């Protein structure tokens, strides 16, 4: 009898739990409203994941009171569903340049370097940096992309395009610098240079007699409590890594042993909001003065765009946004903030398709979200009919179209890059990574005769030759 009564009590306890407690939990979850990430943005992100424009996206917003809000959707890998969140690790790519410039500013404030120091002052005596018209490249020139150094050195010839920087050595960089001839005057104009930013990080490391990662950890990460921000993945960070992808498959992470200051940092949305909070002064740290230095506009790029130390500055007369983005083989990232409103945004995606529009839109909704195209399914025979070689009419360029991993792929002959073609109609395809459409042409009998290559404000034609 007692056992029966106890059994009934247990059943009633479970019923009460499911009837009253569980509904309350779900009600609380479903009715929680987003203050800073509107439903339109969330739906746009869901569509990106659905149509394969990303595998996993994490967005973080921080406001003037320091309140944080996150939205995550998708997976760490396309091979298995493992949900991403604010603690997932992403390569942040060129956002690393903002960190490098803060290191520069901090060392300048501590009288370890000066912004107008010649860059060659800190290199071995046998390494020569090019000059022009008796003007030398300074540390500030490197931080503002006005050094006249090219985007990449001409002796950059990766043996592994999937991890292109891994075998580019310090000796390679020194050899290039010693032989380089500048094509324009130093300081004449802004010209984005991964080489210049990587060289700056290298110089700061030499000056501090530490590796770039040691410098990053000691001077920024430890100061701000950013324990998930590193250049080298620990075992814990590897477990939390969102794997990088192109539009078709998973790709390797990048290693930048020589040019680390240009793009080797990995981080999380949680850490990046801490970084933005410190830049906006919401977190009072000894780095605030150095960070403020990097925000000051120093060079005009165009009418609405300037650059400080590392940071880009966009001013549309309504809002002034300080920002940087990043891109590696399998990631696209964005971080930015409006200093006077003290609102910051980070967007992390583990696919090499841009997400800047999400970041700018969350900071200022006059910037529109990119429309997400729906991919239709075509019969395999239709896809097969488009395969072959195509010669562009006004050049010697030949492209091949083929099927790889069940996706139609476009590749210029002799070039390593491959682009997936995704159908929005039977004969019109789009490339996810860039704003390009490919339209296949047929004759009256239905035979494929050529293609039209639609870029922004320009269309080129190619005939099918095989």
Shared fold status for 90-363 and 380-464 = no
One CATH from 3.40.50.1950, 2.40.50.100, 3.10.129.10, 3.40.710.10 for 90-363: 3.40.710.10
pTM, two decimals, is 0.85
pLDDT, tens digit, 9 for 90 and up, residues 186-206: 999 999 999 999 999 999 999
**331-338 and 436-442 beta bridge pairing:** unpaired
Helices (H), ranges, 296-403: 356-363, 380-385
pLDDT, tens digit, 9 for 90 and up, residues 193-244: 999 999 999 999 999 999 999 999 999 999 999 999 999 999 999 999 999 9
Residues 6+ apart with CB under 8 A from 456: 435
Domain boundaries, the chain: 90-363, 380-464
* 3 state DSSP class of 121: helix
How far is it, in rounded angstroms, from Cα 402 to Cα 421?
10
How far is it, in rounded angstroms, from Cα 214 to Cα 231?
10
Determine whether domain 380-464 maps to CATH 2.40.128.50.
yes
- As beta bridge partners, residue 461 has 452
Confidence at 8, pLDDT banded by 50, 70, 90: very low
Residues 6+ apart with CB under 8 A from 367: 357, 360, 361
Are the beta carbons of 158 and 207 closer than 8 angstroms? no
- The pLDDT assigned to 434 comes to 84
The pair of structure tokens assigned to 317 is 């007369």
Q: Which of 31-45, 169-183, 425-439 has the highest mean pLDDT?
A: 169-183
């Amino acid at each position: 009898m007692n056992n029966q009564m106890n059994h009934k009590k247990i059943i009633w306890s479970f019923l009460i739990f499911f009837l009253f407690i569980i509904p309350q939990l779900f009600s609380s979850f479903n009715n929680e409203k987003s203050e800073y990430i509107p439903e339109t943005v969330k739906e746009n992100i869901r569509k990106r994941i659905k149509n394969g424009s990303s595998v996993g996206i994490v967005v973080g917003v921080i406001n003037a009171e320091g309140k944080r809000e996150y939205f995550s959707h998708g997976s760490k890998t396309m091979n298995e569903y493992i949900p991403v969140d604010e603690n997932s690790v992403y390569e942040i790519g060129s956002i690393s340049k903002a960190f490098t410039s803060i290191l520069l500013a901090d060392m300048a404030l501590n009288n370890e370097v000066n912004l107008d120091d010649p860059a060659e002052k800190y290199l071995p005596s046998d390494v020569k940096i090019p000059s022009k018209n008796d003007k030398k490249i300074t540390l500030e020139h490197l931080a503002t992309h006005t050094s006249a150094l090219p985007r990449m050195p001409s002796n950059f010839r990766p043996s592994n395009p999937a991890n292109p920087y891994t075998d580019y050595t310090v000796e390679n960089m020194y050899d290039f610098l010693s032989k380089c001839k500048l094509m324009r005057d130093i300081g004449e104009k802004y010209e984005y240079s991964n080489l210049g930013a990587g060289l700056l990080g290298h110089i700061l490391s030499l000056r501090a007699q530490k590796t770039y990662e040691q410098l990053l950890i000691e001077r920024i990460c430890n100061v701000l409590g950013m324990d998930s921000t590193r250049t080298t993945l620990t075992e814990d960070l590897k477990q939390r890594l969102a794997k990088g992808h192109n539009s078709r498959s998973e790709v390797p992470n990048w290693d930048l042993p020589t040019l680390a200051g240009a793009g080797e940092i990995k981080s999380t949305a949680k850490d990046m909001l801490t970084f933005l909070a410190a830049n906006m002064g919401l977190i009072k740290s000894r780095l605030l003065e150095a960070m403020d230095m990097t925000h000051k506009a120093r060079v005009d790029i165009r009418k609405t765009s300037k650059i400080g130390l590392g940071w880009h500055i966009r001013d549309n007369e309504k809002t002034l946004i300080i920002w940087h983005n990043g891109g590696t083989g399998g990631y696209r990232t964005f971080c930015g903030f409006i200093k006077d409103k003290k609102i910051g945004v980070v967007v992390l995606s583990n696919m090499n398709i841009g997400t800047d529009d999400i970041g700018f839109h969350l900071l200022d909704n006059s910037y529109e979200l990119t429309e997400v195209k729906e991919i239709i399914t075509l019969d395999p025979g239709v896809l097969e009919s488009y395969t072959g070689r195509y010669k562009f009419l006004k050049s010697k360029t030949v492209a091949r179209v083929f099927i790889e991993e069940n996706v139609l792929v476009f590749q210029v002959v002799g070039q390593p890059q491959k682009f997936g073609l995704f159908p929005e109609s039977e004969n019109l395809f789009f490339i996810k990574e860039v704003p390009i459409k490919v339209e296949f042409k047929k004759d009256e009998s239905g035979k494929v005769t050529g293609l039209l290559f639609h870029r922004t404000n320009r269309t080129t034609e190619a005939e099918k030759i095989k």
